[in-house]
């Protein structure tokens, strides 16, 4: 099974797609993939998202298509059923962390505090989404927690843009960044 580490290794920037119709999602996915973005995240914020994941998987078989804004076990099961290859959550409840360990696809839980990271580690996670990165300290926070959380890797999202993404990517505990600015 693919792991969160594998996903982080294939991405420097993960475009975050909020789609309103399937045709536009597929067109956008094709453009992004041709530009070198192999890992794409479709947020579960619209009624078109689930079908867009299915269609992107069908039409872009070499891309890694994941579901974002996965909030609970039900969401995780749904996106797994439609072919998502990974799931990303803005947070991490104990039920979601447990469901992620039992899922057939990797879950990348969202964290905003060291305590949340520690809880995730207790469930066997080492890769996390840091959200909302810029609002909670961004680069300064990640620098501060690198030593006490050795071996933990992050994909910061939330406030990442063309003027600051390189600052995040320069950090040893950041594997990739995510955002919609790339779109």
pLDDT tens sequence across 20-37: 999 999 999 999 999 999
How many helical (H) and strand (E) elements, i.e. helices and strands, does the chain have?
Answer: 8, 9
Percent of the chain with pLDDT strictly greater than 70: 100
CATH number at residue 154: 3.20.20.70
| 145 has pLDDT over 90 | yes
Tokens of 23: 């045709």
| 1 has pLDDT over 90 | no
Instruction: Taking each helix axis as running N to C, give the angle between helix 114-122 and helix 94-102, from 0 to 180 degrees, rounded to the nearest 10.
Output: 40
Q: CA separation (Å) from 175 to 23, 52, 101?
A: 31, 26, 21
The 10s digit of each residue's pLDDT in 97-140 is: 999 999 999 999 999 999 999 999 999 999 999 999 999 999 99
Q: What pLDDT is stored for residue 26 in this prediction?
A: 97
**84 — alpha (psi -120 to 50), left (phi > 0) or beta?**
beta
Rounded Cα gap, residues 181 and 183, in angstroms: 5
Q: What pLDDT is stored for residue 40 in this prediction?
A: 98
Phi and psi angles of residue 14, each rounded to the nearest 5 degrees, phi first: -105, 110
Q: Domain limits at 63?
A: 4-179
Q: How many domains does the chain have?
A: 1
Whether residue 129 lies in the annotated active site: yes
Find out whether 174 and 183 touch, Cβ atoms under 8 Å. no
Q: Which pLDDT band holds residue 144 (cuts at 50, 70, 90)?
A: very high
Residue that is written with structure tokens 């447990």 in the block: 98
The 10s digit of each residue's pLDDT in 52-88 is: 999 999 999 999 999 999 999 999 999 999 999 999 9
Q: What pLDDT is stored for residue 155 in this prediction?
A: 98
Alpha helices by DSSP H, the chain: 4-10, 22-34, 49-59, 73-81, 94-102, 114-122, 138-145, 165-169
Q: What is the 3-state secondary structure (H, E, C) of 77-88?
A: HHHHHCCCCEEE
Q: What is the pTM of this model?
A: 0.96
Q: Which pLDDT band holds residue 45 (cuts at 50, 70, 90)?
A: very high
Q: Which of 41, 55, 127, 153 is catalytic?
A: 41
Q: Which of 55, 127, 129, 153 is catalytic?
A: 129
Whether residue 41 lies in the annotated active site: yes
Q: What pLDDT is stored for residue 162 in this prediction?
A: 97
């Amino acid at each position: 099974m693919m792991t969160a580490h594998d996903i982080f290794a294939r991405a420097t920037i993960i475009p975050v797609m909020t789609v309103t119709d399937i045709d536009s999602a597929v067109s956008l996915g094709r453009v992004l993939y041709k530009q070198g973005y192999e890992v794409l995240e479709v947020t579960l914020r619209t009624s078109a998202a689930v079908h867009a994941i299915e269609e992107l998987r069908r039409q872009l078989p070499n891309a890694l298509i994941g579901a974002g804004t996965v909030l609970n076990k039900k969401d995780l099961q749904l996106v797994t059923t439609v072919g998502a290859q990974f799931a990303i959550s803005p947070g991490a409840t104990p039920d979601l962390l447990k469901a992620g360990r039992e899922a057939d696809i990797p879950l990348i839980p969202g964290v905003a505090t060291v305590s949340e990271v520690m809880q995730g580690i207790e469930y066997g996670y080492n890769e996390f989404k840091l959200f909302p990165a810029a609002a909670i300290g961004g680069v300064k926070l990640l620098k501060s927690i690198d030593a006490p959380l050795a071996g933990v890797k992050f994909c910061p999202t939330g406030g990442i843009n063309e003027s600051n993404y390189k600052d995040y990517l320069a950090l040893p505990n950041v594997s990739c960044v995510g955002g919609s600015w790339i779109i």
